[in-house]
Amino acid sequence: MLTIRPFTFTDDDYYLAIAIVAAIFDDPPEPLDEWKHDDETRNPDFPHHSEIVERDGTPIAYVETFQSPFFYHPQKYECRIFVHPDHDAPDIRPMVLAHALDRLRDQDLIAITSGMLDDKPEAMRFFDDYGFKPVAVEKVSKLDVTRFDEARYEPHLERVRAAGFEIVTLRTLQGRDADWQRKLYDLDVTVNREIPSTGEKHYPAFDDWLIRRLTTPKFDPDGWFIALDGDRYAGHSQGSINAEAEPVQFVTGVTGTRREYRRRGIATALKVHAIRYAKAHGVQEIFTTNDSKNPMYQLNLALGFEPQPSWVRVEKSLVDSQ
C-alpha cells in the first residue's frame, strides 16, 4: 500500500531523502548540513512542502511541492518526485500528483511543473501519459579533472591578464576591499538575471543573500574566483570542495560575466582557475549544469566536459482540467 507522510526534518528523514536523490543521480550523498541550511534559510514567501512516500512502511520516494523563487509564477507550483530506482513503479507518480493537486486545489493554478533526468524511463512515461510538456532542458556535463591539461590554457590566461583583467579569489578580496559584500551581491544578481529562465526570477534582498550565499556550509572563499577590471567586479565563477564525497567532488555554481565583458575570454579564464583549484585539492570529477540556451554549456564542452543525462523541465496545463 502506498502512503505519503510529512517530512519530519529529523536527521533520519534527511538521510533518507539524501540517499534517494543520490541513487537517482548516481552521485555521492550530499552533506547533511547543506540540506538543513537550505531548509532553515528558505524564504517563507514561497511555500515549500517536503514529504516521504512509503510502500508498506518502506520509504521509497522523496517529494517537494513548492513555488520557486527562480522560476516564479503566482499560479504555478512545482512538484518534484524523486523515486528510488530500486523501488520505481508506475503507480507512484500518479498518486503523488493527485495528492499534490488536492493540496493545491484552492490555489487557482494554471499549471504544475516538474522535471527529471531524461534517462529515467518511468518518469518520462509518466510525463507523457499525464500531459506534461517539455519547457526547458538543463544540460548536465562532467569533467575528468585528472585529464585536464591546465598548461594548455596558460596563453589564454596571459591574454586575459594582458587585457587588464585580474582574477583573484574571494578570500583575497575579503582582505583588500571593504565593500566586497555589496559588490559581489551586485555582480551575482546581475549575472543571474542573464541566465535563461522559464519564469519570473525573484532575487533575495542583500541581507537575505548574505545568509543564503555566505553562511551556507559549502561557502568556500578559496573556490570563488572574481575577475576584476580595476576595482570593478566584471565576472565570477563559484564552487566548493565536497570532501565528504567519495571520490572528492567540486560542487559548481554560476560562472558568468557582466554583459559588457562578454567575448573577451574572461569566463574561460575563470573556469580554468576553478578547475585548477579543484585539481590541486584532489578532485577527480566536476559536474555542472547549464540551460540548453546558455552559451556556458558550449564553453564547458570546449574545456573537456562530457555530456551526461539532461534534466528535462516539464509543465502540465491545468486550465482545461479545472
Least confidently predicted of 130-139, 251-260, 266-275: 251-260
CA distance 62 to 8: 12
Q: What CATH number was assigned to the domain covering residues 2-130?
A: 3.40.630.30
Domain ranges of the chain: 2-130, 141-307
Residue 176 host element (H or E): helix 170-176
What kind of fold does domain 141-307 have according to CATH? Aminopeptidase (3.40.630)
Distances (CA, A) of 227 to 184, 190, 219: 11, 14, 18
Helix (H, G, I), strand (E, B) or coil at 270: helix
Q: Predicted confidence band at 181 (pLDDT cuts at 50, 70, 90)?
A: very high
Measured between its terminal Cα atoms, the distance across the chain in Å is: 29
Q: Predicted confidence band at 198 (pLDDT cuts at 50, 70, 90)?
A: low
Using a pLDDT cut of 90, give the percent of the chain over it. 79
CA distance 142 to 10: 32
Q: Predicted confidence band at 194 (pLDDT cuts at 50, 70, 90)?
A: confident
Q: Do domains 2-130 and 141-307 have the same CATH topology?
A: yes
Res. 158: pLDDT tops 80: yes
Q: Predicted confidence band at 218 (pLDDT cuts at 50, 70, 90)?
A: confident
**How confident is the model over 78-100, as a mean pLDDT?**
97
**Which of 322, 275, 7 has the alpha carbon at shortest distance from 146?**
275
Q: Predicted confidence band at 230 (pLDDT cuts at 50, 70, 90)?
A: very high
Res. 322: pLDDT tops 50: no
Q: What does pTM read for this prediction? A: 0.90
CA distance 109 to 172: 47
Res. 60: pLDDT tops 90: yes
**How confident is the model over 216-235, as a mean pLDDT?**
95
Q: What is the mean pLDDT of the chain?
A: 93
What is the pLDDT, as a whole number, of residue 200? 72
